[in-house]
């Protein structure tokens, strides 16, 4: 269940990364229980592991992109505060998106 939740939560960056990591951990624990013959739900453990990996990777990529965008936007804001040139500020933001 955590793995499935981690995929849409990845679009909120941090929650998806955390849920994905938890799904990976519980998926591995589930596979160990299956190997030790204390459980018989191997398919569910694999599904949780795979969806957890997808959610974790997607959340991590989006988190890195968000951090990069905020850092660039902060640089543009700092430049705007020093120059006061609105056109230059908008061009800075446009350049950061492209």
Residue 66 has pLDDT above 90, yes or no: no
> Is the pLDDT score of 2 beyond 80?
no
Residue 61 and residue 47: Cα distance in Å, rounded?
21
Q: Is 60 helix (H, G, I), strand (E, B) or coil?
A: helix
pLDDT at 54: 93
Res 90 pLDDT > 80: yes
Q: Which residue has the higher pLDDT, 45 or 92?
A: 45
pLDDT at 12: 84
Percent above pLDDT 90 for the chain = 41
pLDDT class of 1 with cuts at 50, 70, 90: confident
């Amino acid at each position: 269940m955590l793995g499935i939740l981690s995929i849409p939560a990845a679009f909120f960056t941090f929650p998806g990364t955390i849920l994905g990591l938890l799904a990976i951990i519980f998926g591995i624990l589930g596979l160990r229980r299956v190997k030790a013959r204390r459980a018989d739900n191997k398919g569910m453990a694999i599904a949780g592991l795979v969806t957890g990996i997808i959610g974790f990777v997607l959340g991590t990529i989006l988190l890195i992109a968000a951090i990069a965008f905020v850092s660039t936007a902060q640089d543009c804001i700092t430049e705007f505060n020093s120059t006061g040139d609105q056109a230059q500020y908008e061009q800075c933001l446009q350049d950061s998106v492209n």
